[in-house]
């Protein structure tokens, strides 16, 4: 794990064991946010979105959010009316303890789908959670929200803006079911800078688009995903969206999102490789991104990555499957890091299996496709498909 | 394997070893078609379609096809100009041996992508192949076209039409990379009935839509897929498309296609389960089919099938991911065979893990989703995702 995360003024955290499942670990995280903060979020696009997502969406629309409550072990998804009620109850529990209103609490759940949330356990754990709130608890927080993750995911930055030190800290969880549009992934990023609500609303979308919407572990999208960005406003004055300070802060915030997103891919279920897929000179950004995902999500490409087998036929197949209209395959080049494997749509003259294999044997590398038909370029991050992936997913519930 | 396939008057076959790879087996199949036959085909929609596909498409457009040449072990895909030339050369070789024209030959290749076809080996094997042509060779033909298939795939029917016995025989190959729109799959179905070219052209599309376009092993589409339907015309008079005889023949032909398609799923790489996904009462056929594939291709659903784990949360997640607009999840029911697992969007009151598990432990079962929002119903066939799948695909080339 990286170095400990710094406190973010205006934010306190508390991780406690609520025994959501029969385990010995922190599984409930409470995040308290100072009055006057801006809070923005993006949520899963799965039609079967979970009860806490529905409740969180309704609450955040009213603004003035003061607390987040996150539990691991149970997703409270596909739980019908009763699920909505338990999500609401947990917000009420937090509200009572913190003397705020229930609509000022955002609930989040991650874990098994379709089982009822043991809400009483959560309510019982809340007083202890509130007593335990502290600024310096980001690292235990990162552990409390883990499910099949093998390690906590954290990232931070500090910046000097107008003579003030501004801090950014972020945590994330998610390993399986990672896909664009927010897949079983939870991320919480906070800064003490002051950013107006509409500015933050745009910023979270841009940050997610540059980070969590560019990763893929297995192409499935979950019912519970959410990414929350908090600007507590505890330090310094409001940062105007056209200022140099804002540009600097925005870049750092996006960096933190990217670092967290990459950490999720690197911890993909059973993953042994971290692979960047870059598509250059496409006709449009949409075309480039679709092709990058087609390559990065193909089970045949992913098993070839696992085998350290530079099976360029599978790469070419995935390129051909990406729905790019009137694709002139004779113009296509493909590179594995600096090694050219495809030239003019066929195997590059200079290519040797040995050189390709050397690249694929690395734990991290880049596959670059050049379509030579436009000026749009996009990239995604993916991982390989291993025996371990099947084992984890075939045995998850038992 | 099923009972031996019967000869189809007007068709002769010959399987020989051309040593395309370093192996001891038949890997070259020649099919000779009587003069006056109708031949129709559908081909891969992958933009990177293989050299033989390009040549076969150009040839079939001119009609009057008299021979098919199929090799296993090398796909002649992504092989550029040289690939086109070798495909053309193999047609010329057949033409010379059979005293026909090269444009009357359709070439097909399956195997590793991106390596040059050893065309001289094919040319050398052709005289022996021609000497060996016989009507009664469907079963050895089915073996000669196998790649990662663990067993040959055959199906046949005989019908009595207007006092004549009409025969249908078919063979197919394909195990990995199976997906709608013709994925690394080759199928050849022949009948001795006389069917006019335009009628047969429609029939092959309908038959493929009802069979090979409804199967999925891993969601990838290959560069080489093709399905060919031959009506040799050797028996009986022309069958009018509005006749009872045609309806009967068409039903039997579609049955043969479905039997071959299902055999491919059952032999899916590493597959241990054969699963029908049925979506009922959708708003449109497109919506129903898309959802059936979303479920049938989800790696998380497929690993749950492998584990015999009726993880209904993953089913619900896949339903939610299928892009059905304004889906009212509270109306959704899901059944595992006759066992109701989801009712009104939540876990069915009557459901028990034991009952669900009993269904999932079978080698074949049906998952039925009822959306209660329209009257369109569609189904697909899929298989599970096993350790063996990863092993096969991580080691295919070595």
Task: Identify whether residues B87 and B204 lie together within a single domain.
Answer: yes
**pLDDT-based confidence at residue B398 (cuts at 50, 70, 90):** very low
Is B284 within the bounds of a domain?
yes
Please write the tens of the pLDDT for every residue from B29-46. 999 999 999 999 999 888
Note whether residue A104 is domain-resident: yes
Residues A261 and A294 in one domain: no
Q: Identify from A148, A182, A394 which residue to disrupt to test chain B contact, counting B C-beta atoms within 10 A and taking the largest count.
A: A394
Measured between beta carbons, the chain A residues lying within 8 angstroms of B290 are none
Question: How open is the CA angle B345-B348-B354, to the nearest 5 degrees?
Answer: 135
Of B321 and A17, more confident: A17
B201 and B175 assigned to the same domain:
yes
- Evaluate whether A221 touches B323 at the Cβ level (below 8 Å): no
- Tell which of A212, A242, A266 closes a domain: A266
> How many domains would you assign to chain A?
2
> Which of B266, B291, B316 delimits the end of a domain?
B266
What does the pLDDT read at residue B397? 46
Phi first, then psi: what are they for B101, rounded to 5°?
Answer: -100, 155
Same structural domain, A126 and A169? yes
pLDDT value for B180: 33
Is residue A142 situated within a structural domain? yes
Whole-number pLDDT of residue A176: 58
Q: Which residue has the higher pLDDT, B128 or B394?
A: B128
The upper half-sphere exposure of residue A123, i.e. CA atoms within 13 Å in the direction of its Cβ, equals: 13
Residue that finishes a domain, picked among A222, A244, A266: A266
pLDDT of A347 reads: 85
Q: What whole-number distance in Å separates Cα of residue A121 and Cα of residue A172?
A: 24
- Tell me which residue range forms the domain holding B90: 11-266
Report yes or no on A93 lying in a domain: yes
Does residue B214 form part of some domain? yes
Asked if A352 reaches chain B (Cβ–Cβ under 8 Å), the answer is no
Residues in B 135-194 with any Cβ partner in A closer than 8 A: 176-177
Same domain, B333 and B365: yes
pLDDT of residue B85: 97
Q: What is the pLDDT at residue B176?
A: 57
Q: Is A398 within any annotated ligand binding site?
A: yes
B135 lies in the same domain as B278:
no
How many other C-beta atoms can be found within 10 angstroms of the C-beta atom of residue A370?
18
A73 is a domain residue: yes
- The pLDDT tens digits of the residues spanning B328-342 come to 988 999 999 999 999
Coil, strand, or helix at residue A106? strand
Same domain, B333 and B229: no
Distance CA B176, CA B223 (A): 13
Q: What share of chain A is helix, strand, coil (3-state, %, to 5)?
A: 35, 25, 40
Question: Which of B347, B340, B339, B287 is closest to B316 using CA atoms?
Answer: B347
In a domain, A286, yes or no: yes
Are A320 and A249 within one domain? no
pLDDT for A221:
62
Which has more confidence, B180 or B32? B32
Q: CA of B46 to nearest chain A CA: how many angstroms apart? A: 5
Strand order in the sheet with A274-282: A215-216, A376-383, A274-282, A364-370, A333-336, A339-343, A346-347
Asked whether residue B183 carries a pLDDT value surpassing 50, the answer given is no
CATH number for the domain spanning A338: value is: 3.10.20.340
Model confidence band, residue B90 (pLDDT cutoffs 50, 70, 90) = very high
Predicted local confidence at residue B215, as pLDDT: 87
Minimum distance, in Å, between the CA of residue A335 and any CA atom of chain B:
15
Are B98 and B158 contained in the same domain?
yes
Annotated binding site of B for substrate: 147, 173, 184, 269, 393, 398
Give residue-wise pLDDT tens across range B247-290.
Answer: 999 999 999 999 999 999 888 777 889 999 999 999 999 999 99
Low-confidence residues of chain A: pLDDT under 70: 1-2, 175-183, 217-221, 387-398
Residue of chain B minimizing CA distance to A182: B321
DSSP letter, residue B214: G
DSSP collapsed to 3 states, B44-103: CCCCCCCHHHHHHHHHHHCCCCCEEEEEEEECCCCCHHHHHHHHHHHHHHHHHHHCCCHH
Nearest to B35 by CA among B5, B71, B9: B9
Whole-number Cα distances in Å, A285 to A211, A257, A373, B249:
16, 21, 12, 49
Q: B5-29, pLDDT tens digit by residue?
A: 999 999 999 999 999 999 999 999 9
Residues A361 and A213 in one domain: no
For residue A393, the model assigns a pLDDT of 61
pLDDT value at B72 more than 90? yes
Alpha-helix residue ranges (DSSP H) falling in A267-284:
none
Q: Which of A223, A317, A361, A369 to mutate to test the interface with B (most CBs of B within 10 A)?
A: A317
More confident residue, B327 or B388: B327
Select from A223, A386, A390 the Cβ nearest to the Cβ of B317: A223
- What's the CATH code of the domain at A156? 3.60.70.12
Q: Who among B47, B115, B395 is closest to A327 (CB)? A: B47
pLDDT score for A178:
41
The ipTM, to two decimals, is: 0.72
Based on the fold, state whether residues B167 and B143 are members of the same structural domain: yes
Which residues does chain B have within 8 Å of residue A221's beta carbon, measured at their own beta carbons? 317, 320-321
Q: Is residue A247 part of a domain?
A: yes
Q: Could you say which residues from 27 to 56 on chain B have a Cβ atom under 8 Å away from some Cβ of chain A?
A: 46-49
Mutation target to probe the A interface, by most A beta carbons within 10 A, among B45, B296, B321 is B321
Q: Do A78 and B220 touch (CB under 8 A)?
A: no
The more confidently predicted of residues B310 and A336 is A336
State residue A191's pLDDT score. Answer: 98
How many CB pairs below 8 A link A and B? Answer: 199
Q: Are residues B212 and B294 in the same domain?
A: no
């Amino acid at each position: 794990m990286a170095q400990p995360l710094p406190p973010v003024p205006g934010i306190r955290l508390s991780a406690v064991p609520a025994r959501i499942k029969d385990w010995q670990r922190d599984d409930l995280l409470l995040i308290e946010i100072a009055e006057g903060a801006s809070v923005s979020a993006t949520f899963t696009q799965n039609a079967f979105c979970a009860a806490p997502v529905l409740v969180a969406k309704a609450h955040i629309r009213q603004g003035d959010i003061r607390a987040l409550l996150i539990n691991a072990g149970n997703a409270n998804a596909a739980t019908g009316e009763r699920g909505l009620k338990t999500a609401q109850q947990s917000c009420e529990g937090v509200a009572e303890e913190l003397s705020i209103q229930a609509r000022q609490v955002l609930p989040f759940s991650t874990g098994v789908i379709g089982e009822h949330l043991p809400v009483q356990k959560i309510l019982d754990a809340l007083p202890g959670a509130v007593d335990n709130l502290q600024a310096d608890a980001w690292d235990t927080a990162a552990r409390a929200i883990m499910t099949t993750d093998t390690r906590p995911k954290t990232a931070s930055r500090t910046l000097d803006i107008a003579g003030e030190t501004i801090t950014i800290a972020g945590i994330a969880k998610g390993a399986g079911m990672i896909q664009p549009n927010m897949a079983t992934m939870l991320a919480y990023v906070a800064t003490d800078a002051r950013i107006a609500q509409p500015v933050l609303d745009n910023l979270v979308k841009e940050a997610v688009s540059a980070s969590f919407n560019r990763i893929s572990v297995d192409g499935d999208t979950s019912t519970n995903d959410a990414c929350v960005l908090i600007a507590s406003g505890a330090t310094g004055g409001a940062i105007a969206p056209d200022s140099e300070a804002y540009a600097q802060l925005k870049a750092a915030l996006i960096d933190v999102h990217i670092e967290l997103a990459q950490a999720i891919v690197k911890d993909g279920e059973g993953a042994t490789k971290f692979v960047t897929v870059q598509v250059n000179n496409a006709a449009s950004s949409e075309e480039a991104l679709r092709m990058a995902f087609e390559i990065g999500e193909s089970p045949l490409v992913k098993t070839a990555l696992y085998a350290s087998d530079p099976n360029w036929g599978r790469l070419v197949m995935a390129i051909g499957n990406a729905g790019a209209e009137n694709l002139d395959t004779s113009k296509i080049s493909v590179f594995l890091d600096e090694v050219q494997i495809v030239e003019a749509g066929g195997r590059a003259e200079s290519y040797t299996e040995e050189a390709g294999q050397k690249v694929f044997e690395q734990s991290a590398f880049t596959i670059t496709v050049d379509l030579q038909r436009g000026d749009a370029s996009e990239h995604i991050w993916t991982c390989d498909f291993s025996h371990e992936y099947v084992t984890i997913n075939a045995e998850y519930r038992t």
